[in-house]
């Protein structure tokens, strides 16, 4: 049997050997998931929420051990594991515990008493069935459990395919869910690389939720289209941060350092492009240089940046750095590497012809570029194929919100960075090549269901006006009715010119047009006399 060995990027220790799931196993998992989803979907949302809420105390009881495993698996420091991986999951679970039943409740829709006499209409939300969650290596806990929880609250089963670089986290996740009172087979996982992910899609889940890079997202979409299966893609970013000269500069500089270098820059919403207004560019750059010199790399208690997770990502960061330097960029220091650890670097004198300003670096590089005015800031920020997140820094909130409204992104924050994506009530997702679909918030929960529209007629009429037989007179009557509803002119004018047609449909109306017409004439007469 083929196995994948998990090795820690921190110290090279072996974290386990995991047998790869073959196609037969995946098919069996899919059958079990469908049976479990059928049971789970029948339970009221409030009951599902009560069961899933018990994940919160399980996580709280094991915070230290979970953070330690995440740190060993990914290379991130423990504080980053605590705040970036576990806290958002706790917040999301609590949010849906409180609001899922209301979000997914039946919604009545008004009906026209003339066109649909005696009818009521509405929309219900139904779970898709089995959701395949294909998650990345940079935040393997949060970006697995978040969509899995959302799928489960919505009434689906979930099959997790974690990155082959995060298998200990995948095992941890399913072990946690096994402690909840869930139907057998409702939560499962499988082991493998991209080919295994393709086999999972070929097993025909009902929805695919993918988080990862652009090229992998294209492959997932292409594979799902063969069946076809709906997909939600959370892809990469090249997120801009705009600092205006009226910003609180020390706060903005600290935010830029955190936004660029948390998790060693391996965050889809990292600050990967920093634009600073020309008037304060030199002052702000000085603050960045002072700040980056104080950051600590390593896993001791004071460590700010942990290890890079993969050698492949190390190579990409180095290529972006060397390309920028070759084209005239200046740097706060050399790109120092010790094992899998990289010292963070601030770059300036950069331009959009450099790879570091156009491609996702996903590492501890912070390129800084000046802008002249508001219009140029917006132009530079939008000059990217990605559109995930952005931050705007100014004491003038009206201006900042005006700028935010013109940025081609799925999310933005003013005078804060990254934290907005963790808000459980705000839908998260990108535009352009950053993907499509949303999770978090009400929109995110509904995205894991599909709407079913229904209408109930309580009419006691012998027949409806649109039923057979047709005639020329019927055609003219319908034209008159449509002119009455949608035509030009005041209400009185539309009534007068279409009165014969309205009389023809009187028997179908929920109200007596003749009496309404008499009341209207009396009202008009009263207004004329007085």
Active site amino acids:
234, 268
In angstroms, rounded to a whole number, what is the distance separating the alpha carbons of residues 126 and 40? 12
Going by the DSSP 8-state scheme, the letter that residue 84 receives in this structure is I
Indicate the SS3 state at residue 72: helix
Closest-CA residue to 142 (of 74, 200, 195, 197): 74
Query: Quick check: 193 and 218 in contact, CB under 8 A?
Result: no
DSSP assignment string, 358-382: TS---SSEEEEEEE-SHHHHHHHHH
My answer on whether omega of the bond before 228 falls inside 30° of 0, hence cis, is yes
Whether the ω angle into residue 107 lies within 30 degrees of 0, i.e. cis, is no
Contact 305, 261 (CB under 8 A): yes
Q: What are phi and psi of 446, to 5 degrees?
A: -65, -25
β pairing state of 187-189 and 157-161: parallel
What is the token pair recorded at 256? 């830029």
Cα distance between the two ends of the chain: 95
In sequence order, what are the residues at sequence separation of 6 or more whose Cβ sits closer than 8 angstroms to the Cβ of residue 225? none
Q: Which residues contact 346 (CB under 8 A, 6 or more apart)?
A: 285, 288, 289, 292, 331, 332, 366, 368
CA gap 181, 52 in Å, rounded: 8
Instruction: Give the phi and the psi of residue 67 in degrees, each rounded to 5.
Output: -60, -40
Q: Residue 174 — left, alpha, or beta (φ > 0 → left; ψ -120 to 50 → alpha)?
A: alpha
Q: What is the Cα Rg of the chain in Å?
A: 29
Q: Which phi and psi (to 5°) does residue 239 adopt?
A: -70, 135
C-alpha–C-alpha distance, residues 429 and 440, integer Å:
9
Asked if 329 contacts 350 with a C-beta cutoff of 8 angstroms, the reply is: yes
Q: How remote is the C-alpha of 499 from its chain's centroid?
A: 52
């Amino acid at each position: 049997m083929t196995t994948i060995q998990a090795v820690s990027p921190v110290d090279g220790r072996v974290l386990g050997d995991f047998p790869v799931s073959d196609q037969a196993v995946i098919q069996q998992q899919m059958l079990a998931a469908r049976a479990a989803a059928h049971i789970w979907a029948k339970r009221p949302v409030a009951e599902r929420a009560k069961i899933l809420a018990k994940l919160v105390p399980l996580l709280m009881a094991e915070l230290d051990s979970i953070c330690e495993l995440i740190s060993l698996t990914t290379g991130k420091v423990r504080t980053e594991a605590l705040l970036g991986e576990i806290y958002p999951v706790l917040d999301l679970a609590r949010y849906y515990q409180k609001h899922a039943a209301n979000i997914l409740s039946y919604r009545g829709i008004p009906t026209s008493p003339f066109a649909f006499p005696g009818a009521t209409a509405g929309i219900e939300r139904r779970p898709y069935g089995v959701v395949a969650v294909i998650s990345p290596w940079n935040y393997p806990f949060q970006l697995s459990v978040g969509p899995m929880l959302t799928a489960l609250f919505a009434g689906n089963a979930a099959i997790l395919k974690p990155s082959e670089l995060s298998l200990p986290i995948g095992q941890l996740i399913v072990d946690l869910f096994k402690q909840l009172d869930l139907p057998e087979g409702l939560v499962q996982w499988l082991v493998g690389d991209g080919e295994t992910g393709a086999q999972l899609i070929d097993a025909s889940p009902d929805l695919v939720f993918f988080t990862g890079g652009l090229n992998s997202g294209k492959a997932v979409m292409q594979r799902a289209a063969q069946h076809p299966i709906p997909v939600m893609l959370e892809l990469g970013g090249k997120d801009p941060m705009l600092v205006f000269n009226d910003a609180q500069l020390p706060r903005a500089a600290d935010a830029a350092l955190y936004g660029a270098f948390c998790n060693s820059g391996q965050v889809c919403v990292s600050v990967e492009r920093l634009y600073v207004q020309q008037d304060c560019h030199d002052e702000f750059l000085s603050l960045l240089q002072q700040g980056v010199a104080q950051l600590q790399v390593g896993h001791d208690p004071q460590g700010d940046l942990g290890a890079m997770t993969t050698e492949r990502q190390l190579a990409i960061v180095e290529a972006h750095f060397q390309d920028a330097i070759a084209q005239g960029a200046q740097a706060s220091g050399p790109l120092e590497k010790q094992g899998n650890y990289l010292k963070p670097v601030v770059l300036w004198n950069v331009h959009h012809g450099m790879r570091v300003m156009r491609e996702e670096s996903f590492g501890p590089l912070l390129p800084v570029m000046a802008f002249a005015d508001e219009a140029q800031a917006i132009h530079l920020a939008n000059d990217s194929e990605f559109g995930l997140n952005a931050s705007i820094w100014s004491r003038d909130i009206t201006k900042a919100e005006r700028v935010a409204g013109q940025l081609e992104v799925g999310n933005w924050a003013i005078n804060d960075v990254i934290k907005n994506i963790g808000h459980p009530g705000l839908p998260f997702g990108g535009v352009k090549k950053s993907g499509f679909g949303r999770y978090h918030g009400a929109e995110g929960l509904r995205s894991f269901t599909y709407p079913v529209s229904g209408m109930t007629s309580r009419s006691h009429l012998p027949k409806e006006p649109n039923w057979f037989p047709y005639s020329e007179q019927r055609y003219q009557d319908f034209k008159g009715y449509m002119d009455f509803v949608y035509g030009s002119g005041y209400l009185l004018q539309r009534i007068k010119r279409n009165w014969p047609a309205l009389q023809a449909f009187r028997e179908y109306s929920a109200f007596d047009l003749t009496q309404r017409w008499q009341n209207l004439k009396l009202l008009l007469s009263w207004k004329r006399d007085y």
